[in-house]
Chains A and B, each alone.
Chain A
Amino acid sequence: MTRKQRRLVLIGASLGVLAVAAALVLSALRDSIVFFNSPTDVVEKHQLPGTRLRIGGLVKPGSVQRGDNLLVRFAVTDGKTDIPVRYQGIVPDLFREGQGVVAEGKIEPGGTFAADTVLAKHDERYMPREVVDALKQSGHWQEGEAKASGSAVR
C-alpha cells in the first residue's frame, strides 16, 4: 500500500467510528434526556402522563405526610401551582418543608407525580438551579436568597 492509500484507510476508519458515535449520541439524546419543568409548566404544557420529567420548586409547608413502608407524600410548589408528589423510599437528609427540592419521575393519570428520585439542596447555601429559575419565573424570589445562591457558586 502506498502512503496515500494508508492515509485513506485511516481517514475512512476514523470517519466510520465518528459516524457510529454520532448515531449513538443522537439516538441517546432523543431517548434518554429528561426535561425540567416547574409545577406551572407541568400544568400549562399539559404534560402527558407517563412522560419522564423533572419537576422542581419548594416543598409546600404543611404538605408532607408520611405513610407506611417509607411512603412520603408532599406537594411541590412554585408559589402559583402545586403538584402532589408520591415517593417511596428514604428522602435526602436535607429534605424539609419550605426548602428547595427536585423530583424525577412520571405523572400518573390522576395528576399525582410519582417520583423515583428526590434530590434536595446540598447545603444551606445551595439551592438547585432549576428551583431558583422556577421561583424567579413565578415571582417568588427574594433578592436576599439570590446572594445566598450566588455564594453557592463556589
Chain B
Amino acid sequence: MMPELGHYALVLALALGLVQSIAPVVGARTHDAALIRLANSTAIMQFAFVAVSFAALVICYVTSDFSVATVFENSHSRMPLIYKFTSVWGNHEGSMLLWVLILSLFGAMVASFGGNLPATLKAHVLAVQSWIACAFYLFILLTSNPFLRLPQTPAEGRDLNPILQDIGLAIHPPLLYLGYVGFSIAFSFAIAALIEGRIDAAWARWVRPWTLMAWIFLTLGIAMGSYWAYYTLGWGGFWFWDPVENASLMPWLAGTALLHSAVVMEKRNALRVWTILLAILTFSLSLIGTFLVRSGVLTSVHAFATDPTRGVFILAILVMFIGGSLALFASRASALKQGGLFAPISREGALVFNNLFLTTACLTVFVGTLYPLALEAITGEKISVGAPFFNLTFGPLFVALMLAMPFGPLLAWKRGDLLGVAQRLVAASGIGALVVAVVFAVEGGQSVLAPFGVGLAAFVMVGALVDLTERTGLFRLPLTTVRARASGLPRSAWGTAIAHFGIALSMLGIISAATWGTELIAVVKPGQTVSLSDYELAFDGLIQRPGPNYSEVVAKFKVRSGGRTIGAVEPSKRSFSARDMSTNEAALMTRGAGQLYLSLGDAGNDGSVAIRFYYKPMVMLIWLGAVVMMLGGALSLSDRRLRIGAPKPAAKSALAPAE
C-alpha cells in the first residue's frame, strides 16, 4: 500500500508541475492574475505531494518492507533505526527523490516568502522552477522508480553498504543537496529576468539571500563530507580531488563568485550580464555534478555506454537546461542595459578580480575532472588526474585570490585608493611576514611553501580584523563611538570579515596537517609501546565485540604524553556478514586543534596487529574554518536589508500584487 501511495503522490506532483510550468507563463502574457496566482498554490501543493511520496518511502524503509526492490537492496531488518532511515537516500533512487523533495521545498518557499516580488517575475521564477522539477520527476518515474515491487518478498534485505552505515550519511547528503539544489533558485531568477528582458539592482537583492542560503548549506555539506571521508576511510586524508568531490567543489566556486558579483549588482547596478551568466553557470555545474555522480559515467565510461538509460536521460536534461539557458542568454543578454561605471582599482574591481580567479580556478577543476573522461571516450587511453595536477593549477590561483582578499573590503566603491589601503594593511602584512620568518626558523627550512602559506593565512586573518577595526574605528576613536559604530555596522560587513577569516583558518589547517603531520605504520604486540611526536601508544590487546548487524574486533590502546596517561583509544574493524564486507573504524583523539588518528590493519596470529598512527596538528581548523565561513554567511543572511526585503522597483508592475 505504502509504495503505491508514494508512487501515486509523485505522479500527482508531476501533474501539478506540468500545470505550474505553463499556467504562470500564460498568465504573465495575458495579464491574467488568476493564472499567475495559481503558481503559488501549485508550488506549495507540489511540495506537499513530494513530501508524501518521500514519507511513504521512509515508512517502507523504517518498517523494512522488503517487497520494495530498493529497500531489499539497501536495507536490513537488524540495522539500527537511524541507518534504516538514512539508507532511504543511501542509493540512487532514494537520493534522487531527496533531490526533488528539496527542489520542491525551495519552490514552495519562493511561493510562500516571495510576497514582495513583482507578480510576473515571481510567476516566471516558479514556472522555471517547475520545468526543472518536471524533468527530474520524469527521470525518477521513468528510469529510477524507488517504489518498484519485487514479485516475491525476500525474507531479509541485502543491507546498506557498510561504509554508508555512519552518522555522516544522515548529515552530508541532505546538506549537500540543499546547497546544490538551492542554486536552482538563482537559476530560475536569471531565466525569469531574461524572459522578461528586464533586470535591476532589486533583482540582485532578491537573489542574494537565496544564493547565500544555498552557499551556506553547500559549504557545510562539503566540509561534512570531507570530515566523514577523513574519519571513515582510515588513512587520514581529508580531500582526495576525487571526481565526486570535485563535482561539489565546482558549484561552490561558481556560487562563491556569484555571491560576490551579486553584491556589485545590488550596490552599484554593474556587472548585470555577468551575474546572470554566473547564476546560470552555477546551477549548470550543480546539474553536471548530478550527472557525474548519478549517471555512472565515473565508474566506467564503458558501463555508461552499455547501460545508458539513466545517463542519457540526465544528459538530455543537462543539454536541455544548460543549452537552452545559454541560448536564451545569448539572444537576450545584449538587451540588458549596462550598469554603473567603475575604475579598475575599486571595490567593484576587486570583486571582478575575485570572480575572475574563482571562475578560472573552477575551470581548472572542471578540466581536471572531465579531461580523463573525454580522453578515454575519444582515444581509449586511461589516465588518472590526481592531487599533483590540482596542486599545480588550483593552488597558484587560490594563492592569488587569498593575497587580494584583504584589499577588497577596504577599497572604496567606484574609485579606490590602493596606496591608502596598502597603508592600512601594513600591520597585517607585517604580521604575515613575521609569521613566515618565525615558522621558517622553527621548522628549520624543511619546506619553503608552508611558512609562506601560513604567513598568507595570517595576513588574511589580520586583514579581516583590520577591516572590522577600520569600520568601527577601534583604536582611533573613543570607545563609545566605537560601540555605536559597531552596532550600526551592517551584519553583512561582519559576515564578510568572519567568512574571510574562516577561509584563512581552513587554509591554515590544510597546510599544517599536510606539512607537519607525522605518521607511523607498525605491527604491535600486546604490551608493546610505540611513540610518535610527543605521544606514546601502549597496546593492551584485541577483544571481540558483537554489534547489531556486525561483529567487530576492537584494539585497546592507552595514550600517554609526558609520562602521563591522557586517555584510551579503541579503533576497530567491523565485519558485516550480509555483504561479506568489513569497515575500518578509526579512533580519533582531539588534542587542541590537532588530532591523533589511529586505524587498524591486519591482525596477526600471535595477537599482534598492524596500525597506522597519525598526528595531525591543527587539522580541526579545516572544518572549523568552514563552520566559521558558514557563520559569516548566516550573519550576512540575517542582515536587515535582506530580511526586510527589497524596496519596490522603480517601474510598477501593471498587475495587482499576487497576495
- Taking Cβ atoms with an 8 Å cutoff, the residues of A that contact B are 1, 3, 6, 9-10, 13-14, 17-18, 20-21, 24-25, 27-29, 31-36, 54, 69-70, 89-91, 93-94, 104, 122-124, 126, 129-130, 132-133, 149-150, 152-154
Residues of B within 8 A of A54 (CB): 384
Task: Decide if A10 touches B299 in the complex (CB within 8 Å).
Answer: no
| B383-402 contact mask (Cβ, 8 Å, vs A): 1 or 0 | 11110110011001100000
- What's the Cα separation between A24 and B395 when bound, in Å? 10
User: A28: which of B163, B361, B383, B388 is its contact (CB, 8 Å)?
Assistant: B388
B359-407 interface with A by 8 A CB criterion: 360-361, 363-364, 367-368, 371-372, 381-386, 388-389, 392-393, 396-397
Task: Decide if A17 touches B388 in the complex (CB within 8 Å).
Answer: no
Residues of A within 8 A of B361 (CB): 21
B2-32 interface with A by 8 A CB criterion: none
Task: Decide if A25 touches B393 in the complex (CB within 8 Å).
Answer: yes
B contact patch SS: mixed
Task: Decide if A32 touches B386 in the complex (CB within 8 Å).
Answer: yes
Q: Is B479 an interface residue (CB 8 A)?
A: no
- What's the Cα separation between A124 and B361 when bound, in Å? 37
Q: Is B302 an interface residue (CB 8 A)?
A: yes
Q: List 11 A-B contacts (CB under 8 A).
A: A17-B356, A18-B360, A21-B364, A24-B392, A28-B389, A29-B385, A32-B386, A33-B384, A90-B602, A150-B307, A152-B303
Residues of B within 8 A of A150 (CB): 303, 306-307
Contact A70/B352 with A21-B397, A25-B393, A28-B388 known, Cβ cut-off 8 Å: no
**Which 6 A-B residue pairs are closest in the complex by CB-CB distance?**
A153-B296, A32-B388, A90-B601, A129-B300, A36-B382, A28-B392
User: B364: which of A25, A31, A33 is its contact (CB, 8 Å)?
Assistant: A25
State how many angstroms separate the Cβ of A41 from the closest Cβ of chain B.
10
Residues of A within 8 A of B343 (CB): 1, 6
Residues of B within 8 A of A69 (CB): 523
- What's the Cα separation between A129 and B344 when bound, in Å? 49
State how many angstroms separate the Cβ of A16 from the closest Cβ of chain B.
9
Contact A29/B389 with A1-B343, A21-B360 known, Cβ cut-off 8 Å: yes
| B559-603 contact mask (Cβ, 8 Å, vs A): 1 or 0 | 000000000000001000001111110000000000000000110
Residues of A within 8 A of B312 (CB): none
- What's the Cα separation between A150 and B308 when bound, in Å? 11
- What's the Cα separation between A10 and B338 when bound, in Å? 14
State how many angstroms separate the Cβ of A30 from the closest Cβ of chain B.
10
Given A70-B521, A154-B92: 10 more A-B contacts, CB < 8 Å: A13-B352, A13-B353, A17-B360, A21-B393, A24-B392, A25-B364, A25-B393, A35-B382, A90-B612, A104-B384
Task: Decide if B580 touches A93 in the complex (CB within 8 Å).
Answer: no
Task: Decide if A122 touches B382 in the complex (CB within 8 Å).
Answer: no
Residues of B within 8 A of A153 (CB): 296, 299-300, 303-304, 307
Contact A89/B302 with A24-B396, A150-B307 known, Cβ cut-off 8 Å: no
Minimal Cβ-Cβ distance residue in A for B352: A10
Minimal Cβ-Cβ distance residue in B for A18: B360
Q: Is B529 an interface residue (CB 8 A)?
A: no
Task: Decide if A28 touches B393 in the complex (CB within 8 Å).
Answer: yes
State how many angstroms separate the Cβ of B270 from the closest Cβ of chain A.
10
Task: Decide if B610 touches A25 in the complex (CB within 8 Å).
Answer: no
Task: Decide if B383 touches A21 in the complex (CB within 8 Å).
Answer: no
Residues of A within 8 A of B357 (CB): 17
Q: Is B515 an interface residue (CB 8 A)?
A: no
Residues of A within 8 A of B582 (CB): 93-94
Task: Decide if B163 touches A122 in the complex (CB within 8 Å).
Answer: yes
